[in-house]
Structure 1
């Protein structure tokens, strides 16, 4: 009776994997908001290590949530998620334990290990392998970018933008502002206005701010759309909750900072 109530409440088929995946999603959402709150605390106490660890934590939680939509966490496939999380975190480990290793060397090692690992996963289809490699690679790169010295120097600047975006995006989700035909315009102009607005309080040239803001807004909007399209094709969590759009957008923002090299752009170092 209790299982039937849960199935009816969450509007699932009689498929326990979907129930556990949805409940797991909700728990991860709490972690994401707690880590975001911890970033705010880190700003108040001026703690760079706390903010950095929260950014890495948010990246890993996002990866966990994405992988749980493809692999049944209620089966022995949970170890696949654990292995991929460790591989994604390895970019941070390499930075701290093997500082003499160049980033491209650690990336090559990571790719080789990842490919070898999936060669022995005979019961995982090619679609899951492709998606898993894609999201693990980008989280590996983002984690390495977060612990980069230049990112650390500008971490409070990034944290201000991140928290303001999170607040406005959450507010828009609550009032269903973003789910119209103009959602792409909303995603673009939200980050464009916030990035340019916060950057004006710093000693950056206007032209550099405009170039950086436009580039990041374009990349973030496109990447968010890619994440959404991927999620609709997942086997276990094909139905999306509104909060998923929020943290897809937030991770896309951090990934865009890396891809656009925005910190160098606004500092005029491009």
Structure 2
């Protein structure tokens, strides 16, 4: 999780984390207000929110270093620390008051609004762009959707969970194609793409053939959970490959500008 703030745009990471937390709290609010929320729903949503928080912290620390001059970082860190301590003291009182006065659903809705405000403020922040190399995306965003399917979650919750999974799938295609076209010699790009396509098309029916008998033997829910675990585990496994983790934005031997044509 901490590496995301170095491998990706830090501002994009913190904004995404805030949007995810806004979504989890808003969905929890809706479920509670309509009387459909269960303990499992809330626990899963808060687990997603906690994961987003784990991404937010390291990326926010790096973002501070990007936007605050070195001479003022001590004051900036002091201000942030004082703010965090104040929130730790005040937030439980405010949330308890809201729960007692208007209910837990409204308390979650207010929490969602605070994350929306944070994301909006971060989007307006003037931050210098750091060069971020294109890297293949990993399918961790699919895990919440699989777990929700295993738990038999309601359709609205599944629809919300499908959004980040769909976004991840689109990003995966963009990053993989960009990395392949950047680092594979031009005369081999077609062959590399063909090989990747054949492997992908070949493993899909194999997975489907194994999933059916496995679902009959241990249950569809267990198979979906195994799929979610595999999606999450794929993240550190992918980053453990040094050539992926240290993939440069441009090949070291590539000229800095376009090749000059014949005179």
Q: TM-score range by the shorter chain?
A: under 0.3
TM-score, length of structure 1 as denominator length: 0.25
